Structure 1
C-alpha cells in the first residue's frame, strides 16, 4: 500500500495548493474591487475553474479515503461475509462508472474542446485544460477502488 500513501500525499498537497491559490485569488479580487475601485477581469473566472478542480479532485481524494457520504441501511442488515461481497460489488460498479463516464467521457470532452479550440473568455485558457480534471479524477478513483478490492 506504499503507492497508495504516495498518491494520497501528492493529491492532498495538490488540493491544498489549489485552495491556497483560490484564497489568494479571491482576496485579490476583493482588494481590486473595493480598494482599487477597478475589479480584476480574470479573478472570477480563475476562481470558478479552481473550484471545479478542487471539487472534482477532492471527490477522488475523499473516495480514496472512504470518507464519502454513504447510506448504510442495506449493508447493516447482512452478515459480515455478505457485507464484504456487497462492498466489492459497489466498488466494481464505481470502477465501471468511472471508466465509462469519467475516463472515456472525460477524454472525449477534452479532445472535442481541444479540437474545437475553445478558450475561456478572460484567461484565454484552453477549456481542455479545465476539463482535464474529469479523466484524471476518474483514474484516481479507479486506482483507489481497485486497491480497495484487492485489499479485501
Structure 2
C-alpha cells in the first residue's frame, strides 16, 4: 500500500509542477492582454480565452492536490467531537462518497465529449472538448488522491492536521498517562 501511496505522490508532484506552469502562463497571458488592450490599443483576443481555460484546469488539478493534503474546505463539527477511531471511519466514508461522486463526474464528463467536441472556441477555434476535458481528468485525479487518503488512513500513516482533533488526541494521551 505504501508503494501505491508513493506512486500517487509522484504523480501529484508532476501535477503540482503543471499547476505552477499553468499559473505562470496564465499570469503572463493576462499581462500581455492588459498591455495589448490598454497600452498598445490592439487587443489580442485569444489570450483572455486561453487564460480562462488554464484557470479551469488549474482549479480542477489544484482541488485534487488539496484533497490529497487535506486542505479542502470541510465542515468538521462532527469529526472534531468524536473519538479518533470513529473519526477515522467517518473520514474514510467521506472519501468513499467522494470517489463515487468523482466516478459519476468522470463518466458523465467523457459522455459529454462528443457533444462539446462539435463546438469550437470563439477566439482560438479549438474544439471545446479540450476545455471540457478538465472535468473528467480532474475527477480522475481526485479519485486517485481519495484512494491515497484512504490507504493512508488504513495504514495509520495519516497525520492529523485539524487543530481540534489534535487537542482531543492530546487530552486522550494525557488521560492514558494518568491511568498508568
User: Equivalents in 1 of 2:27, 2:111: separation in Å?
Assistant: 31
Note if 1:54 corresponds to 2:52.
no
* CA distance in structure 1 between the partners assigned to 2:12 and 2:81 by the alignment: 32
Using the TM superposition, give the Cα deviation of residue 57 of structure 1 relative to its aligned residue in structure 2, in angstroms.
1.4
Q: Which residue in the other structure is 2:115 paired with?
A: 112
Q: Distance in 1 between matches of 2:23 and 2:32?
A: 14
Report the count of equivalent residues: 149
Q: Which ranges in structure 1 are unaligned for 5 or more consecutive residues? A: none
Alignment-derived partner of residue 145 in structure 1 = 146
Structure 2 gaps of 5+ residues are 154-180
Secondary structure of the 1:42 match is helix
Other-structure match for 1:42: 46
Alignment map for 1:64-79 (pairs within 5 Å): 64-79=68-83
Q: TM-score, normalised by structure 2?
A: 0.79
Aligned residue number for residue 103 of structure 1: 106
CA deviation after TM superposition for structure 1 residue 134, in Å:
0.7
Aligned pair 1:92/2:96, yes or no?
yes
Flag as ranges the 4+ runs of structure 1 deviating above 4 A. Answer: none
Deviations 1:26-63 (A, max 9, x none): 11101111221111121221121111111121111111
Distance in 2 of aligned mates of 1:75 and 1:41? 48
Q: Distance in 2 between matches of 1:147 and 1:44?
A: 36
- Tell me the C-alpha RMSD between the 2 structures: 1.1
TM-score normalised by structure 1 residue count: 0.93
For residues 90-137 of structure 1, the C-alpha deviation after alignment (integer angstroms, 9 at most, x for no partner) is 00000000001x2011111223212xx110011001100001011111
